[in-house]
Chains A and B, each alone.
Chain A
Amino acid sequence: MRARVLVRPKAGILDPQGIAVERALPALGFEGVQNVHVGRLIELDVEDPGQLDDMCRKLLVNPLIEDYEVVDAG
């Protein structure tokens, strides 16, 4: 399985990268953009997709500060 792990800063934790991007966009003329958050994308081929959650919790993600979502990338 080709898996895609989307890692996001946990809701409620200050995300200065998101704020910086949100402020930069209007400077380029892009108005009406809100709630920008910057995360991480990890793509991997796995033989046993059942292990993905364990991989996320043990290495790919720090559950204290990040949320994640596993997507089947075909």
Chain B
Amino acid sequence: MRFGVVRFPGTCDDVDALEACARVGDAEILWHGDRDLKGVDAVVVPGGFSYGDYLRVGAIARFSPVMESVVGFARGGGPVLGICNGFQVLCEAGLLPGALLPNVGLRFICRQVGVVVERTDTAWTSACDPGQILSIPVKHTTGRYFVPDAGALEDAGQVVLRYQSHGNPNGSSNDIAGVCNEGRNVVGLMPHPEHAVDVLLGSADGLRLFESAARVGVPA
């Protein structure tokens, strides 16, 4: 199992994502200016401030050469995970529904949160138990998930992760912390599983997401 971790100018969580992937498989960096995905089996779009967050978060990164290839890979069923800024990029790219808005409190938030696993039938949560609560940190300013019809998203079973009751840090609709596409191979979330892969970091719960993708293995 080989993971590719995308690096844009301004990405800052790529090394942690690489380390997290390396715990369950092989991992390498995919440079934003390259169209070649190097034959990886799964792609992680990590957090940071791609292209300085200019215009809107994720708006410019979406048009980078590597994203053209990532969109094609995702449309072909390849597992893609977007974390924080990566989630914002995948929404802007149209791979995931919705958009991320400034936190209700307008402040940068950095803290450990409890996240409930609502769906285990996605490429990135299959190694979790249904209803399992993962302890994972969030760190963002623009993390308020918004989708025009949250009810339809719920009905379609595309709400994958939800902040624990009364634990919504940013004002997201329906306490949504992570969603998937209709094909369930693309998942995006605001919390950072790559920062929670060892008990020394306070929690190893984030590892479950990477284990899930490794379990799916090489796509047919």
Taking beta carbons and an 8 Å cutoff, which residues of A are in contact with B?
A: 13-14, 16-17, 20, 59-60, 62, 64-65
Contact = CB atoms under 8 A, between A and B. Distances in A.
Contacts of A64: 98-99, 146, 148
Contacts of A59: 55, 59, 63
A13 B101 contact: yes
B105 interface: yes
12 contacts: A14-B101, A14-B104, A14-B171, A16-B102, A16-B106, A17-B102, A17-B106, A60-B55, A62-B92, A62-B99, A64-B99, A64-B146
Given A16-B103, A16-B106, 10 more contacts: A14-B171, A16-B104, A16-B105, A20-B106, A59-B55, A59-B59, A62-B92, A62-B99, A64-B98, A65-B101
B215 interface: no
A60 B101 CA distance: 16
Interface of B is mostly: loop
Q: Which of A17, A20, A60, A62 has the most CB of B within 10 A?
A: A62
A52 B86 CA distance: 28
Interface string B155-180: 00000000000000001000000000
Enumerate the 6 nearest inter-chain pairs by beta-carbon distance, A residue then B residue, closest first. Answer: A65-B99, A64-B99, A16-B106, A16-B104, A62-B99, A16-B102
Contacts of B106: 16-17, 20
Contacts of B103: 16
Contacts of A62: 56, 59, 92, 99
A54 to B, nearest CB: 14
Contacts of A14: 101, 104, 144, 171
Contacts of B56: 62
B76 to A, nearest CB: 23
B175 to A, nearest CB: 15
